[in-house]
Homo-oligomer: A and B are copies of this chain.
Amino acid sequence: MIFTHIVMDGDAIGSAAALCLAMRKEGIDAYVVTEDELAKNLSFLGKDLCIDVAEAEKMFSDGHDISVCVDCSEESRFPKRAALFNNGAVKVCIDHHKTADTICDYNYVDPEAGATAQLIYKLIKAMGTEIDKDMAVRIYAGIATDTGNFQYSNTTKETHQIVSELYDICDSFHEVSVEIYENEPFAKLKLQSEIFDGAELFAGGKAVIASVTQDMLKRCGAVMDDSEGTVSRLRALENVEVAALLRENEDGSIKASLRAKTYADVSELCASHGGGGHAKAAGFTEYGNPEKIRETLKKEIEEKIIG
């Protein structure tokens, strides 16, 4: 049984699915066990491989031999499957995230890898299993999505080397990109258009802030997940060093997401509001008047960060 983290991204499902296919090719009765739905644009990656916990327990009522967790290494990342995971006679972890502890019998963890899919590629090769087109597509999807199409700083020589080798198996990955990136819901486009319409530069153009309200979601027929990517786009503005997005949750609380481009550190300001994160990406959640929270945050970004 192969497990990956909740809210599966391209690397999570791509890595899990490629490993599952390789195991099946070696005659192993393997499945990817999930506890949440795949995003629509990623569903082709998990096709015919995924089962839920109830199905897994029914199919393997006498227990299973191996549990593998992929692209994660903590039970909190697969909470509803933790018991099932621990039932495996042998436990294996394959991950590229930095972790404090290793929870498994065998651990293949490499934080230098741009994507877990790179580790899966090397593992399948080491297994001596011939990588076929279905596996290549899933490995590619994992690498491309987790490196921001080779733009993020986690992209290395090995990333491109592996992808160049994948082209020996599959002529073109253009169709994979179309499937993943050219499936945007209309409601998402409308929501983002409204978010950017309300975007406001401040601190001499070095910072930008925007908001998403429950009303906006209703008007656009969108969900909060549709605001994904907007804070990165705001940070990408010319001369902008700090970008902030304020999301109004259903309970009325405001979730602030802050991003820095090059030199600024947004983590301290977020920590002072009871939040956390890294220098370049941090956030906090608080209750209060949305306008007031926005004005206070603008003032603090201008005075404490931009200076």
Taking Cβ atoms with an 8 Å cutoff, the residues of A that contact B are 40, 144, 149-153, 155-161, 163-164, 167-168, 172-174, 177-178, 181-186, 189-190, 192-194, 196-197, 199, 201, 205, 208, 233-238, 261-262
Question: Which of B156, B177, B186 is in CB contact (< 8 Å) with A237?
Answer: B186
Contact partners of A194 in chain B: CB under 8 A: 193, 197
The answer to whether A153 and B172 touch (CB under 8 A), given A164-B160, A164-B161, A196-B189, is yes
CB distance from A93 to the nearest CB of B (A): 28
Complex CA gap A167/B159 in Å reads: 10
Contact partners of A201 in chain B: CB under 8 A: 186
The reply to whether A149 and B152 contact each other, CB–CB distance below 8 Å, is no
The reply to whether B174 and A153 contact each other, CB–CB distance below 8 Å, is yes
Question: Which of B173, B182, B186, B234 is in CB contact (< 8 Å) with A261?
Answer: B182
The reply to whether A174 and B149 contact each other, CB–CB distance below 8 Å, is no
The reply to whether B167 and A156 contact each other, CB–CB distance below 8 Å, is yes
The reply to whether A181 and B151 contact each other, CB–CB distance below 8 Å, is yes
Closest to A201 in B: B186
The reply to whether A155 and B173 contact each other, CB–CB distance below 8 Å, is yes
Closest to A197 in B: B193
Complex CA gap A164/B237 in Å reads: 29
Complex CA gap A149/B147 in Å reads: 11
Contact partners of A172 in chain B: CB under 8 A: 153, 155
Of A158, A185, A201, A236, the most chain B CB neighbours within 10 A belong to A236
CB distance from A91 to the nearest CB of B (A): 34
The reply to whether B149 and A150 contact each other, CB–CB distance below 8 Å, is yes
Contact partners of A163 in chain B: CB under 8 A: 150, 160
CB distance from A115 to the nearest CB of B (A): 14
Contact partners of A196 in chain B: CB under 8 A: 189-190, 192-193
The reply to whether A197 and B190 contact each other, CB–CB distance below 8 Å, is yes
Given contacts A184-B233, A185-B237, 8 further A-B contacts (CB under 8 A): A149-B151, A151-B177, A153-B172, A156-B167, A160-B160, A178-B261, A190-B196, A193-B196
In the assembled complex, 23 residue pairs joining A and B whose CB atoms fall closer than 8 Å, in A order, are A40-B238, A151-B181, A153-B174, A155-B173, A158-B164, A159-B164, A160-B167, A164-B164, A178-B261, A182-B235, A182-B236, A184-B236, A185-B237, A186-B208, A186-B237, A189-B233, A190-B197, A190-B199, A192-B193, A193-B193, A193-B196, A193-B199, A194-B197
Closest to A161 in B: B164
Complex CA gap A262/B167 in Å reads: 22
Contact partners of A144 in chain B: CB under 8 A: 150-151
Complex CA gap A233/B186 in Å reads: 11
Complex CA gap A103/B60 in Å reads: 70
Complex CA gap A144/B181 in Å reads: 17
Of A172, A181, A193, A261, the most chain B CB neighbours within 10 A belong to A193
